[in-house]
Amino acid sequence: MINFNIYSHNQPNRLLIKGEGQLNSFVLEITNVLGQTIALNNLAESVDSETIYAPSAQRHHLALTFEAGALDTNHLTGAKAIGLNQSTSEKWAASAPIIDQTTGKVTLYFIAKQNEEGVMPTWTQGQTWGLYLHHINGQGGTRNTQVQLQTAHLHEEGQSQPLTFDLDQPVKIVNHRGNPYLPLHAGFGDSHTVLNDGTQGSVVLHLTNESDQPIRFHYDANEASNTSKLRIGFTAHNHQVAHALSSKAEADAMTITPPAGWEATKDNSSDSLEWVLKPDGTPQTLASKAQLPITIANIRTTHPVGLTDVSVSYENVRDAQDGHYRDGQIICQLLKQPLVHRNDKVGIGTDKPNAKLEVLGKAKVAGLEVGLRQQKIVTNNGSAGEQFGSSVAMSGNYAIVGAFRRNQPVQAPGVAYIFEKNDTKGLQQIQKISPAEGRVGDQLGTAVCLSGGYAIVGAPRDTQNGTQAGAAYIFQRDNTGVWQQQAKMLGKANVRGNFGASVGVSGNVAIVGAHFEDNERGNGAGAAYVFEQDNSSNWVQKKLLPDELKAYDTFGKAVAVWGNYAFVGATGDDTKTNTAGAVYIFERDVQGNWNKVDKLLPEGYILGHHFGASIAVSDHYLIVGAPEVTNTASSNKRTKGAAYIYAQTEAGWTQVAKLSPNDGITGGHFGINVAITNDYAVVGAPVNPETGISGSIAYVFKQEGFAWKQLSKVVAEAQTTHLSLQSFVAVQGEQMLVGADQDDANGRGATYLYDLDSARAGIGTSNPTETLEVAGNTKTHALILTAPDGNEWKVTVNNDGVLSTEPLGGFGPM
């Protein structure tokens, strides 16, 4: 299969006409999504010992056909095609436009040329070819049309059977006719917000003439195409997506009402939600600084919170400045949001509330305990002892969860599960991945990472390079959504090197730690390996081994990669004191070499801190965990553990915060696992401070200004006496994943997905600054307040606004 799009002036699926009779251009982009490499037959001809290319209906690789009337045939004297991928020498020959005298359709034929070595180009999976076409132009007014792409003389590489594709693409012709812009502004005045709770609402769209001259809208009773038109368009989508206003079904009752002198008609032929407005029998004039109000009513949506585009297109509108007629487009936006921004259904300002709180005013409540919305995830066919949740990672719409003791297909090789987000932001299992060569005790799934279409899974006890030498596997998502194994990675042949106990990936760059590797720096010095995918899709290995490493530094205990930076933890580093730990930072230069540029050390005099036991990085922020018990210089005091946040600045990576739990306990191993985004940091701790026994605990911190404040704490699994000193966490956008590999008594394990945006409740505001914030007029009849000591008071406000309190239980006044 192939995909194609037409871009005109960087706008997709548009054919812009800049002026009648003027030459124009567009880009044809075609992508191979077949899953196989496509080969092209050589269609060159030899005439008088000269190689020529003559595209025609019989000899072509591509044929692009436009509907009758789409192109300006009076000025269409030729077409020239230039391949955009000149680095790979894809060059093309284009035919003159062929006009079908019966149908009026216009077709352009294209042939791919040989390169300088006389070799035909091949079209690899995922590769996009771009053809820049000029010396062509459209004609007529703004309207929708179809463009057809057909292929010939193609075949799968290594196969003889021909491949043919016949695709249609809807394209909009937009006639700009000179300067496309009118001094017309579109906006929603007082409110650009609609509720997304399924209730109906309305807004008023104002079109304002910002010029000093009137704008005239023409009416032609004899020729409808000459009448001025306004098109109001909205994005509709059947799936729950943030960028769409609603589904078409939800929009059935939606109406648009223009002012007097105008008529509005819904365009049911459009793929989107679109209404056409035009003068109702007589020309209309919009005076200078005047507004044209358009009421949009019965808006109903349940799509997620987000901004959605509202398109206002105008056609055949006369500009009073020069008398020319204009076609153009203005984009404004509507915001979809709930009245109450949390998971619970609360009725505010309605006579049928769905909760116990009625609020009609302004109120702010601080210190309220709000839990996070969660989804418990288990495998479709999980088994006892597999420890599902022993590692977790998220990227985009996908998540991966390791189960390193999974006992199929052979006893305990391990496995990883791929999940995809569904329409309700939850996760559903789509695939189980495990290499065919899995062996007993490999512990595949001990570490996992995701980035775009790549997944990496560590198997630190793989025996191919020696007993527990370790391995890691790269999987890539193909065009059909299936994750396929691409490579098996190995480090140094080294007994118990634990290669694969930590992994990371960013695009086509992967990193693997081997923190127990014996090498020239000493026994247990450790190492890290970077793998980069070359142009042949091979993964090329480069080893990171700083000069100052010493025996038992355990370099590679944790790893991460982000862009041109690699981060490696060495928990045994004793630069400050014994096993205080360190994190090394490497940067890739223009030659592709990875050079050490920094070494981060924990603050203070810290013995046995194990700084660098966990690492995560996201968009200029780095978080480092230091989970072990600590001895200070003056005593043997045990501490809670800590996590450190660094920001990339012009001076390098600078510490901006040190995180510790509000309720942590000594020996709690806070920092055993970490995750970070721009807004949230998540720190794992495997010991519940309330009970002192094992559990998968995650602390959520949110950045507020320059500070990181604890937002919530979750306990993801039932407490167990089985000590599992891990708490696996991942964070992506507004969601957090916590692995609980000892979730039940049988060790089957589970993973929990949390919505971080449900930790704050906003009523009438989408950006609450407190745990519960109400914007607007508030009316509270009675409120029960509970003090930290358990005593309760009833707070009542009467009609005169007088507040009174009444103790519940006979104790003293409030």
Percent of the chain scoring above 90 in pLDDT: 31
Higher pLDDT, 382 or 453: 453
pLDDT on residue 790: 56
- Rounded distance between C-alpha atoms, residue 555 and residue 577, angstroms: 16
Mean predicted confidence (pLDDT) in 183-208: 83
CA distances, 273 to each of 95, 219, 329 (Å): 38, 24, 16
pLDDT on residue 382: 65
One domain, residues 189 and 164: no
pLDDT band (50, 70, 90) for residue 341 = very low
pLDDT on residue 200: 87
Amino acid found at 524: G
Q: Which of 128-132, 610-614, 638-642 is predicted with the least confidence, judged by mean pLDDT?
A: 638-642
Mean predicted confidence (pLDDT) in 618-623: 92
Answer yes or no: are the C-beta atoms of 164 and 53 closer than 8 Å: no
Q: What is the pLDDT of residues 12-39, one digit of tens each?
A: 666 666 544 445 667 778 888 888 899 9
pLDDT band (50, 70, 90) for residue 453 = very high
pLDDT on residue 625: 94
pLDDT on residue 754: 86
- Rounded distance between C-alpha atoms, residue 170 and residue 666, angstroms: 64
**pLDDT at residue 353 greater than cutoff 60:** no
pLDDT on residue 89: 40
Question: Is residue 437 situated within a structural domain?
Answer: no
433, two tokens: 């991945």
CB atoms within 10 A of CB 542: 16
76, two tokens: 């269409």
Q: What is the C-alpha R_g of the chain?
A: 32
**pLDDT at residue 634 greater than cutoff 50:** no
One domain, residues 190 and 337: yes
Q: What is the pLDDT of residues 246-277, one digit of tens each?
A: 888 888 899 999 999 999 999 876 556 889 99
Q: Which of 15-29, 74-88, 243-257, 508-522 is predicted with the least confidence, judged by mean pLDDT?
A: 74-88
Mean predicted confidence (pLDDT) in 201-228: 87
Mean pLDDT over all residues of the chain? Answer: 79
**pLDDT at residue 544 greater than cutoff 90:** yes
CATH number at residue 149: 2.60.40
Question: Is residue 162 situated within a structural domain?
Answer: yes
One domain, residues 163 and 202: no
CATH number at residue 229: 2.60.40.680
CA distances, 327 to each of 228, 230, 313 (Å): 9, 10, 7
Q: Which stretches of 744-791 are assigned E, i.e. beta strand?
A: 750-755, 761-763, 772-774, 782-786
Torsion angle in degrees (nearest 10) through CA of 350, 351, 356, 362 = 40
- Rounded distance between C-alpha atoms, residue 336 and residue 87, angstroms: 45
**pLDDT at residue 583 greater than cutoff 80:** yes
Question: Is residue 724 situated within a structural domain?
Answer: no
Question: Is residue 110 situated within a structural domain?
Answer: yes
CA distances, 87 to each of 4, 91, 133, 539 (Å): 21, 10, 18, 22
Strand partners of residue 12 = 7
One domain, residues 211 and 243: yes
Q: Which of 333-347, 442-456, 563-577, 752-766 is predicted with the least confidence, judged by mean pLDDT?
A: 333-347
CB atoms within 10 A of CB 12: 13
**pLDDT at residue 632 greater than cutoff 50:** no
pLDDT band (50, 70, 90) for residue 339 = low
pLDDT on residue 796: 62
Higher pLDDT, 261 or 640: 261
Question: Is residue 572 situated within a structural domain?
Answer: no
Q: What is the pLDDT of residues 526-543, one digit of tens each?
A: 999 999 998 888 999 999
Mean predicted confidence (pLDDT) in 407-432: 79
**pLDDT at residue 336 greater than cutoff 90:** no
pLDDT band (50, 70, 90) for residue 470 = very high
List, as own/partner pairs, every contact residues 720-726 make where C-beta atoms lie below 8 angstroms and the sequence separation is at least 24, other chains included.
720/693, 720/694, 720/695, 720/745, 721/693, 721/694, 722/694, 722/747, 723/694, 724/686, 724/694, 725/669, 725/672, 725/686, 725/694, 726/390, 726/672, 726/673, 726/684, 726/686, 726/696
- Rounded distance between C-alpha atoms, residue 519 and residue 550, angstroms: 10
16, two tokens: 């812009």
Mean predicted confidence (pLDDT) in 281-301: 92
pLDDT on residue 542: 95
Could you tell me which residues come within 8 angstroms of residue 549 by beta carbon, excluding any fewer than 6 positions away? 521, 522, 525, 526, 555, 570
**pLDDT at residue 308 greater than cutoff 50:** yes
Chosen domain end from 313, 348, 383: 348
One domain, residues 169 and 205: no
One domain, residues 168 and 206: no
pLDDT band (50, 70, 90) for residue 690 = low
- Rounded distance between C-alpha atoms, residue 531 and residue 529, angstroms: 7
Chosen domain end from 174, 200, 220: 174
pLDDT on residue 344: 44
- Rounded distance between C-alpha atoms, residue 207 and residue 210, angstroms: 9
Answer yes or no: are the C-beta atoms of 402 and 418 closer than 8 Å: no
When mean pLDDT is compared over 315-324, 621-630, 799-808, the highest value belongs to 621-630
Q: What 3-state class would DSSP assign to 322?
A: coil
- Rounded distance between C-alpha atoms, residue 641 and residue 659, angstroms: 9
pLDDT on residue 264: 95
CA distances, 593 to each of 95, 448, 732 (Å): 47, 25, 30
pLDDT band (50, 70, 90) for residue 467 = confident
21, two tokens: 């009779």
Answer yes or no: are the C-beta atoms of 525 and 550 closer than 8 Å: yes
Total domains present in the chain:
3
185, two tokens: 């502004």
143 CA to centre of own chain: 33
One domain, residues 203 and 161: no
**pLDDT at residue 545 greater than cutoff 90:** yes
pLDDT on residue 762: 57
- Rounded distance between C-alpha atoms, residue 18 and residue 409, angstroms: 63
pLDDT band (50, 70, 90) for residue 140 = low
One domain, residues 167 and 219: no
pLDDT on residue 180: 46
587, two tokens: 């940067």
pLDDT on residue 561: 96
pLDDT on residue 505: 96
Q: Which domain does 156 fall in, by range?
A: 2-174
Question: Is residue 139 situated within a structural domain?
Answer: yes
Higher pLDDT, 4 or 263: 263
Answer yes or no: are the C-beta atoms of 215 and 286 closer than 8 Å: yes
- Rounded distance between C-alpha atoms, residue 29 and residue 421, angstroms: 29
Answer yes or no: are the C-beta atoms of 558 and 514 closer than 8 Å: no
pLDDT on residue 116: 79
Mean predicted confidence (pLDDT) in 726-749: 78
Q: What is the pLDDT of residues 440-452, one digit of tens each?
A: 778 899 999 999 8
Question: Is residue 107 situated within a structural domain?
Answer: yes
- Rounded distance between C-alpha atoms, residue 243 and residue 238, angstroms: 12
One domain, residues 151 and 222: no
Concatenated DSSP letters of 577-611:
STT-BEEEEEEE-TTS-EEEEEEE--SS--BS--B
pLDDT on residue 613: 94
Question: Is residue 549 situated within a structural domain?
Answer: no
**pLDDT at residue 573 greater than cutoff 80:** yes
pLDDT on residue 814: 42
One domain, residues 126 and 258: no
**pLDDT at residue 679 greater than cutoff 80:** yes
One domain, residues 194 and 93: no
One domain, residues 212 and 260: yes
Chosen domain end from 286, 318, 348: 348
